[in-house]
Amino acid sequence: MTNSVSLIGRAVSVQVPATTANLGPGFDTLGLALAKYDQLEVTVRSAPGVFVEVHGVGAGLVPTDESNLVVRAIIHTFEAVGLPMPGLNIVAHNVIPHGRGLGSSGAAIVSGIMAAKGLLEGVVEIDAEMLLVLATEMEGHPDNVAPALFGGLTIAWTTPEGPRHKKLMVHRGVKPLVFVPEQEMSTALARSLQPTSVPHEDAVFNVSRSALLIAALIQSPELLLAATEDKLHQSYRAAAMPETNKLITLLRAAGFAAVVSGAGPSILVLASDPGQRLVAAELVASQSDTPWRALMLAVDMQGATVHPLTAHSTAETAA
């Protein structure tokens, strides 16, 4: 089975979690999967080309042609395994906020790669290492795509042979809370504010906190406040998201382990019990100058999944 015609009628369902990266000191290294999911249905059809239907977040805004990020990820995967791209019908159900630091672009990339993996089941085997390589090639760095692919807390790093990751279980006492604002933040803008070098003492500071953060997340949640201190990236980006910075300062002064989620402007609070999340949500509601949506989420431990769907009728797949 080596051509697109043999795939006609194949259909898969994909689910990918939101993610939060950096977690304070773990810049471009640490990521956490959250139980909020984008879903995708992809069907191979006989007609060439791609038809994309988007529901939920991004409907009417994101491209519905081959420039769509999910489609680009599918194309990238087929090209990587040396097979022609078949005609596709794609239905996306999006709930992960866009441009808020919750891994929406990483989720789109992982959705496409996982869809291609599922469609090629029994034709080409795409293992976990290749999944991470393909996703990192598109995303540019593995800190968001690693937890999106594999779930849980991930440590991601790069080697001359390609990206690598280690998945860790999170202590059951850790309860993530995310505050999502109405405004978006460009990841490219956030990265542009990052200096090319930092003081030696700041680098040492973050090494210590990153090591402590792993211990706090897997064993000792009571250390989360100290473990989420950072001197590498958040202060440099603060001026671009003043309300985020104000609320993080407020939350940390009140004893909450609050950090910028990814590139922002969302705020991640790593609470040590459910009651702490409620108090943090009340504090933000009473002190913020702009609306914030509080999402009390679980840690997703499964990561991205793909399942075959019942083959559609010939009429549907030929649409």
Q: What is the CATH number of the domain that holds 231?
A: 3.30.70.890
- Return the SS3 of 254: coil
Asked if residue 98 belongs to a known ligand binding site, the reply is yes
Asked if residue 47 belongs to a known ligand binding site, the reply is no
- In this structure, are 184 and 154 located in the same domain? no
Instruction: Say how many domains are in the chain.
Output: 2
| pLDDT at residue 185, rounded to an integer | 66
Residue position matching structure tokens 């990587």: 80
Asked if residue 103 belongs to a known ligand binding site, the reply is yes
What is the spatial distance between Cα 213 and Cα 21, in angstroms, rounded to a whole number?
A: 13
Partners of 307 in the beta sheet?
A: 13
Judge contact between 62 and 40, C-beta under 8 A: no
- In this structure, are 313 and 271 located in the same domain? no
Asked if residue 6 belongs to a known ligand binding site, the reply is no
How many other β-carbons are positioned within 10 Å of the β-carbon of residue 122? Answer: 7
Asked if residue 9 belongs to a known ligand binding site, the reply is no
What is the spatial distance between Cα 289 and Cα 245, in angstroms, rounded to a whole number?
A: 12
Judge contact between 28 and 143, C-beta under 8 A: yes
Partners of 181 in the beta sheet?
A: 292
pLDDT surpassing 70 at residue 55: yes
Average pLDDT score over the chain:
91
- In this structure, are 156 and 254 located in the same domain? no
Percent of the chain with pLDDT over 90: 82
Which structural domain, as residue segments, surrounds residue 201?
A: 175-296
Q: Which tokens is 268 given?
A: 């991640």
Asked if residue 100 belongs to a known ligand binding site, the reply is yes
For the segment 262-276, the average pLDDT, to the nearest whole number, is 93
Asked if residue 106 belongs to a known ligand binding site, the reply is yes
- Taking only the tens place, the pLDDT of each residue in 138-183 is 999 999 999 999 999 999 999 999 999 999 999 999 999 999 999 8
Smallest CA-to-CA distance from 30 within 299, 314, 291, 309 is with 299
- In this structure, are 12 and 61 located in the same domain? yes
Asked if residue 295 belongs to a known ligand binding site, the reply is no
Asked if residue 111 belongs to a known ligand binding site, the reply is no
Beta strand pairing call for 267-271 and 175-181: antiparallel
- In this structure, are 204 and 121 located in the same domain? no
pTM, 2 dp: 0.91
Smallest CA-to-CA distance from 90 within 61, 62, 53 is with 53
- In this structure, are 84 and 113 located in the same domain? yes
- In this structure, are 144 and 184 located in the same domain? no
Q: 224 φ, ψ to 5°?
A: -60, -35
